[in-house]
């Protein structure tokens, strides 16, 4: 009993911190330009494929099983490729539509999403099938003894959770304390006045996509290393979860994205284990929770009741 | 008289078929407080928008210390012209201190990389900015609200905070758009003291106000804008006694209206 419960909690926290990491990208972009960047899940997927490509082509086979070499190479490659793709999407797809009606960039985001999937397919033609992803961390499982048995957690899962939470915490400090973070918040609250104060909104927006993309790229690589396989649908699935997490936590809030992500991870793993229907219904429980929370707290956990905009 | 610091020459602003400003020229001298009055819709705020680069004038130019100002709000702020807004435009979800720090942005050069690396130069410039923000908040009397979100400040204090933020850009010219709107007599009085103190810092000021008594007792010179045209410019005494100003505010004297009716009947 207890070992099963704690194992599902552990699984939920690992998955949840990943979802939170992806959700940061949704929430930051929405906070600054009020765009739901539906392509963000694909950015996460592109990061994973970028990491895989770096491991396949950049890393000499002789040292490929040394995780302390493979891990940084894969992480940097995944982050850089995902960040570049995110910035390119902003520059060429969203920026020309910045003053267009809301629906136009939203549809464009869906288009970018399809375009990114097809672009990956050019390099990995049978990408719908699961591709093996090499191990990039200490292999094996940590067995934590508890009364009645043990709770197994993959080392790669521990890494995924710790890195995700550390990056989210770092982002929060950056946005709260740094001059650039101040510029980002100022741009989110009143873009015209921010410009008057010498802040270049375009630079802030590019930086937002860059940070969100890099975080998603890191997430993609860690996710690949955790499950040891990736496929082209991983972006869509986890993107939906992450978007839901961002809304649940209060879109625009960094803290909310992380808490929302953890909540969804736990609901998915515990609901799959204990609620009727099993894992076949875990999506249902996630959206039931979302609906219930939004009925009572439409702004999400940490959202502001009203956005004060000029 | 000292040298002109801000100079508007023939500023004309046309929106579609509407001429909002027609050939407006004036100079602001160093250390001077100018009042800008006129009926609603006379073009006062439009003139401010032209002076600060928010609008590109259809004709005419604005120069600061003889250098023509670009039609780019950020560059105008960097050149040394700051302003406040008739409808307060603070960053509502940031603290009073942060609002002032953002005003300081235009004078700081550290980019995102340097703030990530937290180099000594970055720390020094941050510390200096924080110290200046503290001084500016003290100057406008908002020290007690330093860590309060801007949207939670009382209305009059929001106006003061907007002034502090404008001062953080280190302007040589400050444009105030109805700084006492919605204030009671006591708050209005302290705003007057604040504007005088700002002038004593060496900042020249242009004030838009509807309260003509406030303007006539505060300003060195007064400009009267009516239907986009500069009707009268002069000292408070000259402007106050000018029949054209009375006419613009109250309409034509009754006998003249009567005469017009007679003419139209004929």
- 3 state SS of A34: coil
Ranking A92-106, B66-80, B104-118, B151-165 by mean pLDDT, the lowest is B104-118
Cα dihedral across residues A220, A224, A227, A230: positive or negative: positive
Q: Where are the domains of chain B?
A: 1-80+171-266, 90-170
The mean per-residue pLDDT over the stretch B154-173 comes to: 95
The residue of chain B with its CA nearest to that of A211 is: B112
**What is the rounded distance in angstroms from the CA atom of residue B1 to the CA atom of residue A192?**
37
Does the pLDDT at position A16 exceed 60?
A: yes
The mean per-residue pLDDT over the stretch A250-271 comes to: 95
Partners of residue B170 in chain A, C-beta under 8 Å: none
Partners of residue A83 in chain B, C-beta under 8 Å: none
A207 or B242, which is more confident: A207
The mean per-residue pLDDT over the stretch B140-168 comes to: 95
ipTM over 0.85: no
**What is the rounded distance in angstroms from the CA atom of residue A139 to the CA atom of residue B138?**
59
Residues 6 or more apart from A49 whose CB is under 8 A from it? A120, A123, A124, A127, A220, A230
Fold of B1-80+171-266: Rossmann fold (3.40.50)
Of the pLDDT bands very low, low, confident and very high (cuts 50, 70, 90), residue B261 is low
pLDDT at B88 (0 to 100)? 93
Using an 8 Å Cβ cutoff, are A270 and A225 in contact?
A: no
| Token reading at B139 | 């100057």
Q: Tell me if chain B has a CB within 8 Å of the CB of A193.
A: yes
Q: Tell me if chain B has a CB within 8 Å of the CB of A197.
A: yes
Partners of residue B103 in chain A, C-beta under 8 Å: 197
pLDDT at A310 (0 to 100)? 33
Distance from CA of B82 to the nearest CA of A (A): 9
Cross-chain CB nearest to B110 (options A179, A207, A310): A179
Q: Tell me if chain A has a CB within 8 Å of the CB of B184.
A: no
Cross-chain CB nearest to B92 (options A174, A198, A308): A308
Using an 8 Å Cβ cutoff, are A226 and A136 in contact?
A: no
pLDDT at B150 (0 to 100)? 96
| Token reading at B29 | 């001298």
Mean confidence (pLDDT) of chain A? 92
pLDDT at B192 (0 to 100)? 95
Of the pLDDT bands very low, low, confident and very high (cuts 50, 70, 90), residue A253 is very high
Using an 8 Å Cβ cutoff, are A230 and A131 in contact?
A: yes
**What is the rounded distance in angstroms from the CA atom of residue B77 to the CA atom of residue B101?**
15
Question: Chain A to chain B, count of Cβ pairs less than 8 Å apart?
Answer: 77
Total Cβ atoms within 10 A of residue B261: 10
Does the pLDDT at position B250 exceed 70?
A: no
Of the pLDDT bands very low, low, confident and very high (cuts 50, 70, 90), residue B111 is low
pLDDT at B7 (0 to 100)? 94
Does the pLDDT at position A189 exceed 90?
A: yes
- Could you tell me which residues are beta bridge partners of residue B207? B35, B176
Partners of residue B169 in chain A, C-beta under 8 Å: 197-198
pLDDT at A63 (0 to 100)? 72
- Could you tell me which residues are beta bridge partners of residue A132? A229
Does the pLDDT at position A134 exceed 70?
A: yes
| Token reading at B10 | 């023939």
CB contact under 8 Å between A198 and B169, yes or no, is yes
CB contact under 8 Å between A190 and B91, yes or no, is yes
Of the pLDDT bands very low, low, confident and very high (cuts 50, 70, 90), residue B44 is very high
Cross-chain CB nearest to A182 (options B102, B106, B169): B102
Residue A47 has phi, psi (to 5 degrees) of -60, -45
pLDDT at B259 (0 to 100)? 65
Q: Tell me if chain A has a CB within 8 Å of the CB of B73.
A: yes
Does the pLDDT at position B94 exceed 50?
A: yes
Q: Could you tell me which of A204, A268, A259, A211 has the C-alpha nearest to residue A238?
A: A268
CB contact under 8 Å between B74 and A199, yes or no, is yes
**What is the rounded distance in angstroms from the CA atom of residue B115 to the CA atom of residue B129?**
14
A190 or B116, which is more confident: A190
The mean per-residue pLDDT over the stretch B179-196 comes to: 93
The CA radius of gyration of chain A, in Å to the nearest whole number, is 19
**What is the rounded distance in angstroms from the CA atom of residue A7 to the CA atom of residue B89?**
51
pLDDT at A6 (0 to 100)? 95
**What is the rounded distance in angstroms from the CA atom of residue B17 to the CA atom of residue A183?**
38
Of the pLDDT bands very low, low, confident and very high (cuts 50, 70, 90), residue A309 is very low
Does the pLDDT at position A15 exceed 60?
A: yes
Of the pLDDT bands very low, low, confident and very high (cuts 50, 70, 90), residue A307 is very low
**What is the rounded distance in angstroms from the CA atom of residue A222 to the CA atom of residue A74?**
9
Q: Tell me if chain B has a CB within 8 Å of the CB of A276.
A: no
Q: Tell me if chain B has a CB within 8 Å of the CB of A185.
A: yes
Pairing label, strands B221-226, B33-37: parallel
Pairing label, strands B221-226, A149-154: unpaired
pLDDT at B263 (0 to 100)? 62
Of the pLDDT bands very low, low, confident and very high (cuts 50, 70, 90), residue B47 is very high
Question: Mutation test of the interface with chain B: which of A196, A205, A304, A309, choosing the one with the most B Cβ atoms within 10 A?
Answer: A196
Does the pLDDT at position A153 exceed 90?
A: yes
Does the pLDDT at position B256 exceed 80?
A: no
Q: Could you tell me which of B122, B91, B50 has the C-alpha nearest to residue A309?
A: B91
Does the pLDDT at position A60 exceed 80?
A: no
The mean per-residue pLDDT over the stretch A71-81 comes to: 96
Distance from CA of A215 to the nearest CA of B (A): 16
107-166 in B: which are within 8 Å (CB) of A? 107-108, 110-112, 115-116, 126, 129, 151, 165
The mean per-residue pLDDT over the stretch A57-70 comes to: 80
Distance from CA of A24 to the nearest CA of B (A): 18
Angle B241-B242-B247 from CA coordinates, rounded to 5°: 115
Ranking A50-54, A125-129, B17-21, B46-50 by mean pLDDT, the lowest is A125-129
pLDDT at A266 (0 to 100)? 96
Distance from CA of A296 to the nearest CA of B (A): 23
Q: Tell me if chain B has a CB within 8 Å of the CB of A190.
A: yes
pLDDT at B209 (0 to 100)? 92
Does the pLDDT at position A54 exceed 80?
A: yes
pLDDT at A102 (0 to 100)? 87
Using an 8 Å Cβ cutoff, are B161 and B96 in contact?
A: yes
CB contact under 8 Å between A183 and B73, yes or no, is no
Q: Could you tell me which of A135, A163, A118 has the C-alpha nearest to residue A20?
A: A163
- 3 state SS of A211: helix
Q: Which residue has the tokens 């939004």?
A: A294
Residue A108: in which H helix or E strand, if any? helix A103-123
Percent of chain A with pLDDT over 70: 97
CB contact under 8 Å between B91 and A178, yes or no, is no
Biggest alpha carbon–alpha carbon distance for chain A: 64
Does the pLDDT at position A127 exceed 80?
A: no
Q: Tell me if chain A has a CB within 8 Å of the CB of B94.
A: yes
Residues B68-85: pLDDT tens digits? 999 888 899 999 999 999
Distance from CA of A170 to the nearest CA of B (A): 10
Of the pLDDT bands very low, low, confident and very high (cuts 50, 70, 90), residue B110 is low
Distance from CA of B47 to the nearest CA of A (A): 16
B256 or A213, which is more confident: A213
**What is the rounded distance in angstroms from the CA atom of residue A41 to the CA atom of residue A194?**
30
Label residue A198 left, alpha or beta by phi (over 0 means left) and psi (-120 to 50 means alpha). Answer: left
Percent of chain B with pLDDT over 90: 68
A309 or A64, which is more confident: A64
Is A224 buried (19+), middle (13-18) or exposed (0-12) by CB count in 10 A? buried
Q: Tell me if chain B has a CB within 8 Å of the CB of A195.
A: yes
């Amino acid at each position: 009993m207890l070992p099963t419960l704690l194992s599902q909690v552990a699984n939920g926290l690992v998955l949840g911190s990943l979802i939170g990491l992806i959700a940061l990208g949704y929430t930051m972009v929405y906070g600054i330009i009020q765009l739901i960047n539906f392509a963000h899940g694909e950015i996460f997927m592109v990061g994973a494929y970028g990491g895989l490509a770096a491991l396949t082509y950049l890393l000499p086979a002789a040292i490929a099983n040394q995780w302390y070499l493979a891990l940084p190479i894969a992480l940097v490659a995944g982050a850089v490729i995902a960040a570049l793709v995110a910035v390119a999407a902003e520059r060429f797809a969203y920026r020309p539509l910045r003053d267009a009606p809301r629906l136009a960039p939203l549809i464009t985001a869906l288009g970018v999403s399809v375009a990114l999937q097809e672009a990956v397919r050019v390099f990995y033609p049978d990408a719908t099938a699961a591709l093996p992803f090499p191990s990039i961390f200490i292999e094996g499982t940590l067995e934590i003894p508890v009364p009645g048995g043990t709770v197994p957690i993959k080392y790669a899962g521990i890494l995924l959770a710790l890195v995700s939470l550390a990056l989210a915490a770092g982002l929060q400090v950056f946005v709260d304390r740094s001059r650039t973070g101040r510029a980002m918040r100022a741009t989110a609250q009143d873009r015209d006045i921010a410009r008057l104060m010498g802040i270049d909104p375009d630079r802030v927006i590019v930086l937002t996509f860059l940070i969100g993309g890099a975080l998603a790229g890191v997430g993609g690589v860690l996710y690949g290393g955790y499950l040891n396989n990736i496929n082209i649908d991983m972006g869509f699935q986890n993107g939906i979860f992450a978007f839901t997490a961002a809304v649940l936590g209060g879109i625009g809030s960094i803290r909310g994205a992380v808490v929302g992500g953890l909540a969804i991870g736990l609901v998915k793993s515990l609901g799959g284990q204990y609620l009727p229907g099993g894992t076949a219904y875990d999506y249902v429980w996630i959206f039931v929770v979302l609906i219930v929370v939004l009925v009572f707290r439409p702004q999400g956990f940490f959202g502001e009741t009203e956005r004060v905009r000029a | 008289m000292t040298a002109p610091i801000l100079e508007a020459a023939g500023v004309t602003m046309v929106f579609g078929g509407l001429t909002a400003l027609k050939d407006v020229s004036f100079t602001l001298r160093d250390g001077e407080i100018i009042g800008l009055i006129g009926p609603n819709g006379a073009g006062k705020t439009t003139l401010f928008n032209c002076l600060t680069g928010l609008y590109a004038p259809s004709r005419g130019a604005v120069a600061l210390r003889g250098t023509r100002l670009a039609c780019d709000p950020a560059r105008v702020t960097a050149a040394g012209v700051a302003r406040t807004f008739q409808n307060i435009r603070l960053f509502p979800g940031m603290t009073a201190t942060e609002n002032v720090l953002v005003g300081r942005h235009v004078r700081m050069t550290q980019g995102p990389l340097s703030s990530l690396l937290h180099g000594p130069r970055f720390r020094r410039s941050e510390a200096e900015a924080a110290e200046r923000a503290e001084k500016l908040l003290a100057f406008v009397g908002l020290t007690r609200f330093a860590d309060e979100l801007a949207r939670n400040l009382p209305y009059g204090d929001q106006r003061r905070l907007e002034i502090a933020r404008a001062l953080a850009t280190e302007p040589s010219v400050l444009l105030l758009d109805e700084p006492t709107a919605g204030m009671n007599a006591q708050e209005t009085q302290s705003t007057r003291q604040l504007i005088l103190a700002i002038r004593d810092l060496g900042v020249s000021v242009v004030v838009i106000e509807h309260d003509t008594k406030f303007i006539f007792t505060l300003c060195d010179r007064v400009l009267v804008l009516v239907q986009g045209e500069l009707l009268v410019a002069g000292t408070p005494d000259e402007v106050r006694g000018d029949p054209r100003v009375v006419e613009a505010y109250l309409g034509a004297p009754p006998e003249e209206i009567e005469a017009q009716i007679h003419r139209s009947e004929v």
